[in-house]
Structure 1
Amino acid sequence: MLGGIVVVGAFVQWLTGMGFALIAVPALVLVLGPTPGVVLANCAAGVISMVGLTTGWKRVRLGAMVPLVIASACTVPVGSWVAARLPEPVLLAGVGILVTVAVAFVMGGVRIPALTGTKGAVAAGAVGGFMNSAAGVGGPPYSLYAVNAGWSVREFVPNAQFYGIMVNVFSVAANGVPRLSGTAWTVAAVALAVGALIGRAAAPRIPEHWVRRLILTLALTGGLTVLGKGLWAMR
């Protein structure tokens, strides 16, 4: 099951520049537990972002990325601190809520005038850093910022990869590397490579709107499932 989750997440991440967390975090949390699932998602998303950025680094908008990254660096430790002190059922419910709300915002194509310019970048980065270290889903605030900035897909993907590298490095540094068996690490690494290769081969053949619809549907389902498990455990 772990391998299948990572393959699908890596496939989606390669197609869109982000999305590994939205797809994989709910399932990884159910399989491995809240903290290991979130941190493994941080590790995997960061690695595949590095690979993807090797061909698109010239299109990174450093002027916009610097405030995003600095703000996320400031709030990542806060997210880690909060996650470490919550009981597992509460953390499960929190992850489920964050994923579900984030997907709802992205699905609704929400436009927030305040999320423009440097102040918008700082706000998006701060929220994204907290969400990434606490729940493994730091991409939606960046997505909302990019939508409000009017970025094209060509601009969105490499900047998403750059942001993904930085915020996931911060998150892994704050949370530590997950304690998994050698077999689990091997399965995850192989699955990550397989998913990336499939995504690279399929990218020219799959319409973007199909990919977007699949990502959001799976992410919403996963978020609601984790939320339900957390609420059930609180009874």
Structure 2
Amino acid sequence: MASAWYFLVLLGGVVLLGSSVQRLAGIGFGLVGAPGLVLLMGPVQGVALVNCGSVAISAVGLAATWRLVRLRTMLPLVAAAGVSVPLGAYVARALPEPVLLTGLGSLVTVAVLLVMRGVRVGGLYGTGGALAAGAVSGFMNSSAGIGGPALSLYAVNEGWSARDFVPNAQFYGLVVNVLSVFAKGVPRLTGSAWLLVAVTMTVGILLGGVIAARTPDHAARRVILGLALGGGLVTLAKGVWLLL
């Protein structure tokens, strides 16, 4: 009984934090939530819950911003992601847990560092850049629950503003996470756990909205990336420990 309550408390805390971040920045549920959920539930089930949660949060955010979505720009991104999502799902199922944890931790850590540095990648613009970013993002989203960094790098190279990025990231997150859920299925949780996820996610979305209204963009970005980097490093450390 104690272990069940411990699991629910940690699950609710991670979902609350991740959903608040997603509402604050347009992306981030996977970056912040995936490491904690992977450590709590295992790589496959944890990432599956990230995908399900990202569908719900992206849909809520998109309800108010869908008119700002650039459908013509997003088409090659989601098309390329649709091709690579099944590969990511296969890799997540096929690799042993220590290897998968090490890989997921490494992906999160490297991706966050790239975004922190504002790296510009030559050629990552236009239709060709969208196809490349979509393919990488779809694979990472399905295998690790972190499709956002590749999309962020593409947006940086295209010169998108924050106003451009948030609605398009929400549209992309909705489509690609739906594809990821179809490829892998939903996580195995009890009814009480699903209810907790729904409640904490709703509270997180509302809380993130309040924080967003009072927080400068640069400050929110530093907090989000710091949390994501810490989570990636912890996941990487656990994977390496299990390997050794």
TM-score computed with the length of structure 1 as normaliser: 0.99
Distance between the aligned counterparts of 2:111 and 2:141, measured in 1? 12
Aligned to 2:119: 110
Per-residue CA deviation, residues 185-230 of structure 1 (Å, 9 max, x unaligned), is 1111111000001111221111111110011111111001001101
Point out where structure 1 has 5 or more consecutive residues left out of the alignment: none
Distance between the aligned counterparts of 1:82 and 1:35, measured in 2? 10
Is 2:101 the counterpart of 1:92?
yes
Instruction: Describe how 1:182-193 pairs up with structure 2 within 5 A.
Output: 182-193=191-202
Per-residue CA deviation, residues 44-84 of structure 1 (Å, 9 max, x unaligned), is 01110100011111110111100000000000000011111
Task: Choose the corresponding residue for 1:22, options 5, 11, 31.
Answer: 31
Distance between the aligned counterparts of 2:23 and 2:66, measured in 1? 15
SS of the counterpart of 1:171? helix
Distance between the aligned counterparts of 1:61 and 1:115, measured in 2? 18
Instruction: Describe how 1:1-235 pairs up with structure 2 within 5 A.
Output: 1-235=10-244
Q: Which is further off, 86-95 or 200-209?
A: 200-209
Per-residue CA deviation, residues 23-64 of structure 1 (Å, 9 max, x unaligned), is 000000011111111010111011101000111111101111
Q: Taking every aligned residue pair, what percent have the same amino acid on both sides? A: 59
Distance between the aligned counterparts of 1:198 and 1:111, measured in 2? 32
Distance between the aligned counterparts of 1:26 and 1:169, measured in 2? 20
SS of the counterpart of 1:110? coil
Distance between the aligned counterparts of 1:18 and 1:95, measured in 2? 18
Distance between the aligned counterparts of 1:45 and 1:214, measured in 2? 20
Distance between the aligned counterparts of 1:21 and 1:80, measured in 2? 15
SS of the counterpart of 2:220? helix
Distance between the aligned counterparts of 2:92 and 2:213, measured in 1? 39
Point out where structure 2 has 5 or more consecutive residues left out of the alignment: 1-9
Distance between the aligned counterparts of 1:182 and 1:33, measured in 2? 19
Using the TM superposition, give the Cα deviation of residue 113 of structure 1 relative to its aligned residue in structure 2, in angstroms.
2.6
Distance between the aligned counterparts of 1:46 and 1:208, measured in 2? 24
How many residues align? The count is 235
The one-letter amino acid paired with 1:40 is L
The one-letter amino acid paired with 1:177 is V
Using the TM superposition, give the Cα deviation of residue 133 of structure 1 relative to its aligned residue in structure 2, in angstroms.
0.5
TM-score computed with the length of structure 2 as normaliser: 0.95
SS of the counterpart of 2:64? coil
SS of the counterpart of 1:113? coil
Using the TM superposition, give the Cα deviation of residue 181 of structure 1 relative to its aligned residue in structure 2, in angstroms.
1.0
Q: Considering only aligned residues, what root-mean-square deviation do their CA atoms show, in Å?
A: 0.7
SS of the counterpart of 1:129? helix
Distance between the aligned counterparts of 1:55 and 1:188, measured in 2? 23
